[in-house]
Structure 1
Amino acid sequence: MDILFYILISTFLISLIAFAGAVILFLKEELLNKILLILVSFAAGALIGSAFLHLVPEAIEGVGIEEKSLLKIFLFLLFGFCTFFILENSINWHHHHAKEHPEIKPFSYLILISDGVHNFIDGLIVAGSFIISIPLGIVTALAVAFHEIPQEIGDFGILIYSGFEKIKALFLNFLSAITIVFGGVLGFLLSERMGDSMIFLLPFAAGSFIYIACSDLIPEIKHKVSPQKALIHFFVFLLGIVLMLLIKLVS
């Protein structure tokens, strides 16, 4: 039950990030965009670092270095990558880091639904990591949280722009975020039936993290950051990787 406690606490805390969107109400748009881009750079590094320094090595350690075992790991990594590619292109789930968006309420409901699906899958991933080991679960939860902060702020801005009242926008954003808790609980329950097969959630998570970083976050940085400031964001990106490395070394 200790593992379930960690899963519930971590996923619930991540869901509270939905309220981070309230910073939009207090910051000027220019300053907010600068902060968001820094967070995006850091999140990209944290996701890449988590995938290559924690999730994949832990999966290899769990199944061994035989050729067939390694093939399974990298097939699940590709499966995670392709799953998130399909999700993004089928339900228009993608990251938003600015307030401007030409669509109106119908599109905002689609964002809420797609984010709910995305957060539910994150819950499965966090649960699978905690079941393997508590330190790995903490690292995975941190990587998810770092990635969620800019996304939730951007989503809240879109909901406001689409015509929702501020309180309702916060509430709806939280409803889509709380699905991570349900995903975490389901992941825990499935672990009792799946047993050792839960280890393959790790490369699946790694594939999803790599996709998010390379398809959504890094292109966002390239599109929004001027060449003069690119080096700063590169160092922030490295900082995200270094943080994951330090956690690996001390855990």
Structure 2
Amino acid sequence: MHITLGIIIPFIGTTLGAFSVFFLRDQLSSLVQKGLLGFASGVMVAAAVWSLLIPSIDMSEYLGKFSFVPAATGFMLGILFLLLMDRIIPHLHLSSDEPEGIKTSLKKSTMLVLAVTLHNIPEGMAVGVVFAGVMMNSSDISMAGAFALSVGIAIQNFPEGAIISLPLKSEGKSKTKAFVYGTLSGIVEPIGAVITILLTNYIVPFLPYLLSFAAGAMIYVVVEELIPEASEGEHSNIGTIGFAIGFLIMMILDVALS
């Protein structure tokens, strides 16, 4: 029951954010978007360090001076995986009119959803891997720590749901359709988490690599997409302030609840 709730919490965050389309009239202002993007970046970086990389290194202490190897290897594989997905999956970012990935005739709204979905892949993996560690009774991952990660990702998913649904409404989509699109952008998270947990018995030896893999994928999203979008144009310091707040909240959650 606890694990099921932990898997669903991030998706609830996205759904609640998308639901804002029913009571907010227009798109979020650029200042608010910058602040929220910075906030999401801070949460993801803190989660990558405290919830994923540090446990990965702690699990590999038996390697002595080489305890960094699983974390470093998984981290780089996570970066390369998202780099490949970025090149393959057709998607469009809010701040751009030029689609990325392979050429396609998909609608703009669909590619906007795919962009957020791409961001959510590593987050779903992270939640799944951490709860898999809890199921394996790993001394380096507690149930409270796993919930801290889940709640932290849910907090940063709320603005993501709003950022995807509100522009769709402004482009002429009905409120219901905009809400559905925003919600669907987060469905990959519980799906990815469930698949990871179902494979728990097979991933035991690779858990340190998988934790750092998810960390690398999350950092890729932050550096490649979120921070540039939060920093472009005027008032980039708003994104920086958002980053600091998101980082602090996630760090406090992880340390206090672990």
Given the superposition, is the C-alpha separation of residues 102 and 70 from structure 1 closer, same or farther in structure 2, using an over 3 Å criterion? Answer: closer
Contact kept, 8 Å, 2:120 with 2:186, in 1: the verdict is yes
1:241 has 2:247 as partner: yes
Match of 1:52 among 43, 49, 52: 49
Moved more, 141-150 or 166-175: 141-150
How far apart are 1:246 and its partner, in Å?
A: 2.0
C-alpha RMSD over aligned residues? 3.0
Match of 1:198 in 2: 207
How far apart are 1:144 and its partner, in Å?
A: 2.6
How far apart are 1:40 and its partner, in Å?
A: 1.3
Instruction: Give the Cα separation in 2 of the matches to 1:233 and 1:47.
Output: 14
Given the superposition, is the C-alpha separation of residues 204 and 93 from structure 1 closer, same or farther in structure 2, using an over 3 Å criterion? Answer: farther
Contact kept, 8 Å, 1:127 with 1:185, in 2: the verdict is yes
Identity rate of aligned residues, in percent?
22
Instruction: Give the Cα separation in 2 of the matches to 1:68 and 1:185.
Output: 31
Instruction: Give the Cα separation in 2 of the matches to 1:245 and 1:18.
Output: 22
How far apart are 1:68 and its partner, in Å?
A: 4.1
Given the superposition, is the C-alpha separation of residues 159 and 143 from structure 1 closer, same or farther in structure 2, using an over 3 Å criterion? Answer: same
Instruction: Give the alignment's TM-score, normalised by structure 1.
Output: 0.80
Given the superposition, is the C-alpha separation of residues 120 and 26 from structure 1 closer, same or farther in structure 2, using an over 3 Å criterion? Answer: same
Supply the AA of the counterpart residue of 2:127.
V
Contact kept, 8 Å, 2:39 with 2:246, in 1: the verdict is yes
How far apart are 1:248 and its partner, in Å?
A: 3.7
Query: 3-state DSSP class of the match of 2:185?
Result: helix
Moved more, 153-162 or 33-42: 153-162
How far apart are 1:118 and its partner, in Å?
A: 4.7
- Deviations along 1:119-176, whole A, 9 cap, x unmatched? 3543222111122232332232234334433332232244335543221221233233
Query: 3-state DSSP class of the match of 2:199?
Result: helix
Query: 3-state DSSP class of the match of 1:66?
Result: helix
How far apart are 1:9 and its partner, in Å?
A: 3.3
Instruction: Give the Cα separation in 2 of the matches to 1:176 and 1:243.
Output: 24
Instruction: Give the Cα separation in 1 of the matches to 2:2 and 2:250.
Output: 24
Given the superposition, is the C-alpha separation of residues 118 and 42 from structure 1 closer, same or farther in structure 2, using an over 3 Å criterion? Answer: closer
1:71 has 2:77 as partner: no
Match of 2:12 in 1: 13
Moved more, 43-52 or 142-151: 142-151
Match of 2:198 in 1: 189
Instruction: Give the alignment's TM-score, normalised by structure 2.
Output: 0.78
Given the superposition, is the C-alpha separation of residues 126 and 22 from structure 1 closer, same or farther in structure 2, using an over 3 Å criterion? Answer: same
Contact kept, 8 Å, 1:126 with 1:137, in 2: the verdict is yes
Q: How many residues are treated as equivalent by the alignment?
A: 243
Supply the AA of the counterpart residue of 1:195.
V
Instruction: Give the Cα separation in 1 of the matches to 2:120 and 2:26.
Output: 28
Match of 1:167 among 142, 151, 176: 176
Supply the AA of the counterpart residue of 1:249.
V
How far apart are 1:94 and its partner, in Å?
A: 5.6
- Deviations along 1:26-54, whole A, 9 cap, x unmatched? 2454x633222211122211211222233
Query: 3-state DSSP class of the match of 1:185?
Result: helix
How do 1:85-124 and structure 2 match up within 5 A? 85-93=83-91, 95-96=93-94, 106-113=107-114, 115-116=116-117, 118-124=119-125
Given the superposition, is the C-alpha separation of residues 171 and 234 from structure 1 closer, same or farther in structure 2, using an over 3 Å criterion? Answer: closer
1:145 has 2:154 as partner: yes
Structure that is richer in helix per residue = 1
Contact kept, 8 Å, 2:122 with 2:218, in 1: the verdict is no
- Deviations along 1:92-112, whole A, 9 cap, x unmatched? 44643x6x9589962322333
Given the superposition, is the C-alpha separation of residues 143 and 249 from structure 1 closer, same or farther in structure 2, using an over 3 Å criterion? Answer: closer
Given the superposition, is the C-alpha separation of residues 176 and 47 from structure 1 closer, same or farther in structure 2, using an over 3 Å criterion? Answer: closer
Match of 1:207 in 2: 216
